[in-house]
Amino acid sequence: MAIGRVNPQYTLEDMGIEGLGEVYYNLLEPAIIEQSLKRDEGRLGKGGTFLVETGKFTGRSPKDKFVVETPGVEGKIWWENNPPMSEAHFDTLYNDMLAHMKGRDYFVQDLTAGADPEHAINIRFINELSWHNLFIRHMMRRPSREALDTFMADFTVINCPKFKADPERHGCRTDTVIALNFDRKIILVGNTEYAGENKKGIFTVLNYMLPEKGIMPMHCSANHAKGNPVDAAVFFGLSGTGKTTLSADPNRILLGDDEHGWSDRGIFNFEGGCYAKTIDLDPEAEPEIYATTERFGTVIENMVYDEETLELDFKDDSLTANMRCAYPMDYISNASESALGGHPKNIVMLTCDAFGVLPPIARLTPAQAMYHFLSGFTAKVAGTERGLTEPTPTFSTCFGAPFMPRRPEEYGKLLREKIARHGATCWLVNTGWTGGAHGTGARMPIKATRALLTAALDGSLSEVEFRKDPNFGFEVPVSVAGVDDILLDPRGTWSDPTAYDAQAHKLVQMFADNFEQYIPYIDEDVKAVAIG
């Protein structure tokens, strides 16, 4: 018997998924939490949050993510970045997962991705963990209750953390697997409890689908000026660079914290919720996000807390540095209801430079923006991928290589055209280290980053004097109100400026070595701004 609300013609049985225990469809938050408590999946926290631990898997598993080599994807996938899985292996995996599901209870949410109805897709999430179902209900967008009665999915995600894959049988790498089949329109996830896989899988699907419709999918957060959705800004960045933190700006309206599309009509959020890191979360620096950690239903992942008072310890990273909270967008008081914005006036590329070399902000020409978009330089921060314990410099193209099924130039070309057509101003912002590399220097103060962004977005930054950076060729402001001048000159923040020069030269060489792979694909003007 179906418990909850579902299209009567479209139950799991109708999809050929049979023999399960109880199946709960589209439960609302209180009912899901009741089920999660009954199953001992976690406990209630302050204000009615839901506290969970995810065991061994506290970050994504990018090396265990596969794209199935089906006829429909031929010539479209960037295989060097997306390990292939054969159709036969996938079919075995699918059958084995369905066998594993027999007799167990499952939780279904029918949700959508894409705030622009013209480009939205319907997704059915089938979760073994009840709290994953709560998480994804927060993170995606919700059809009306009536629409559930006729809901049909464009894509299905089956997520079974208790299922163990077999590399021999399934053609995967370990007993953890994330398998994307674009032709069968299924994502299978096995043997990881990290909730983020649920949402980042769908992001990968949209990154595959949307370019064919001329829409640029972006790993970015976004906001717009109060009362003026046309004055929008996007913030590209790999995990840990500050997308979530910096887009929740009390002076602007939040569009979304992680994934957006850019169509001929403007930008739109793919999601309906946020997934914020809570390590060192400071009520003064980030009041909006902090407040969500005491709201009903917020999922709090891998945080240490006082057993008696349920007080969260924002400093304790003993479970992981990637501790998180997930909540619906409307828990942020200045969030946009429509999640739609105009063509971005400003495009910010966030980088967390662990070398302490890059300036806190630089203005980029369109060609330089393309260069930095394809380069995607940053540091991976501790915890967001399994096994990372130190900030590790990396070039993650499009500021999100783990989620890009297609070749980087394809995204690059789309972005280029849109920047040119709409005349966006582009910036590179270093939210990483200053005063020395990681280990010597300190993380860029959030206050300084915010002040610089405010000036960039309100236009006042364009009025100040700029210098040309001798290593990177971009323009750096000399003095900005509200920011220590010294911060604007990274060389001057190092106790030994010659050590800075040496580190800067090394970084320039790293950029040059990394960029060689894109030379055959890019325009002359981008070649002309390549550094090193």
Positions in the binding site for ligand PEP (CB under 6 A): 60, 196, 200, 239, 243-244, 258, 275, 384
Q: At what angle do helices 366-375 and 497-515 cross, to 10 degrees?
A: 80
* Residue pair 207/182 in contact by the 8 Å Cβ criterion: no
Which residues on neighbouring strands pair with residue 362, listed in sequence order?
428
Task: Please state the closest distance from residue 129 (CB atom) to ligand PEP, in A.
Answer: 17
The residue from 58, 130, 244, 425 that is catalytic is: 244
* Residue pair 25/17 in contact by the 8 Å Cβ criterion: no
Nearest C-alpha neighbor of 46 from the set 284, 330, 292, 315:
292
Among 244, 247, 302, 449, binds Mn ion (CB under 5 A): 244
**244 belongs to the binding site for ligand ADP (CB under 6 A):** yes
**292 belongs to the binding site for Mn ion (CB under 5 A):** no
Task: Please state the closest distance from residue 397 (CB atom) to ligand PEP, in A.
Answer: 15
Task: Please state the closest distance from residue 186 (CB atom) to ligand PEP, in A.
Answer: 21
| The one segment of 60-68, 175-183, 237-245, 259-267 that binds ligand ADP by CB under 6 A | 237-245
User: Is 219 an annotated catalytic residue?
Assistant: yes
The residue from 36, 49, 58, 60 that is catalytic is: 60
Among 15, 20, 446, 508, binds ligand ADP (CB under 6 A): 446
The residue from 243, 345, 386, 438 that is catalytic is: 243
User: Is 324 an annotated catalytic residue?
Assistant: yes
User: How far apart are alpha carbons 41 and 22 in whole angstroms?
Assistant: 17
Helix (H, G, I), strand (E, B) or coil at 298: coil
Task: Please state the closest distance from residue 237 (CB atom) to ligand PEP, in A.
Answer: 7
User: For residue 313, what are its two tokens?
Assistant: 């310890």
Q: State the residue for tokens 């500021």.
A: 399
User: Is 60 an annotated catalytic residue?
Assistant: yes
Tell whether residue 43 is among the known ligand binding residues: no
Chosen from ligand PEP, ligand ADP, Mn ion, none, partner binding at 449 (C-beta under 5 to 8 Å by type): ligand ADP
Tell whether residue 394 is among the known ligand binding residues: no
The residue from 132, 199, 260, 324 that is catalytic is: 324
Tell whether residue 449 is among the known ligand binding residues: yes
User: Is 394 an annotated catalytic residue?
Assistant: no
**243 belongs to the binding site for ligand ADP (CB under 6 A):** yes
Tell whether residue 201 is among the known ligand binding residues: no
**255 belongs to the binding site for ligand ADP (CB under 6 A):** no
User: For residue 261, what are its two tokens?
Assistant: 């599309």
User: How far apart are alpha carbons 83 and 176 in whole angstroms?
Assistant: 14
User: Is 244 an annotated catalytic residue?
Assistant: yes
Chosen from Mn ion, ligand PEP, ligand ADP, none, partner binding at 196 (C-beta under 5 to 8 Å by type): ligand PEP
Ranges of beta strands (E only) in 227-370 are 228-236, 252-256, 260-263, 266-269, 273-277, 299-301, 324-328, 340-341, 346-351, 362-364
Phi, psi of 137 (to 5 degrees): -65, -35
Of 243 and 416, which CB lies nearer to ligand PEP in the complex structure?
243
3-state secondary structure 38-60: HCCCCEECHHHCEEECCCCCCCE
| The one segment of 84-92, 239-247, 285-293, 315-323 that binds Mn ion by CB under 5 A | 239-247
Among 86, 443, 466, 499, binds ligand ADP (CB under 6 A): 443
- Give the containing element (helix H, strand E) for 475: strand 475-477
Of 144 and 389, which CB lies nearer to ligand ADP in the complex structure?
389
Query: Which residues are within 8 A (CB) of 364 and not within 5 positions of it... i.e. 6 or more apart?
Result: 349, 372, 426, 427, 428, 474
* Residue pair 326/198 in contact by the 8 Å Cβ criterion: no
Residue number, nearest CB to ligand ADP: 242
User: Is 421 an annotated catalytic residue?
Assistant: no
**237 belongs to the binding site for ligand ADP (CB under 6 A):** yes
Q: What is the sign, positive or negative, of the torsion defined by CA atoms of 492, 495, 496, 502?
A: negative
* Residue pair 204/180 in contact by the 8 Å Cβ criterion: yes
**Active-site positions?**
60, 200, 219, 239, 243-244, 258, 324
Q: Which residues form the interface with Mn ion (CB under 5 A)?
A: 243-244
Q: Which residues form the interface with ligand ADP (CB under 6 A)?
A: 237, 239-246, 276-277, 279-280, 431, 443-444, 446, 449
Residues placed in the known binding site for substrate: 60, 194, 200, 324
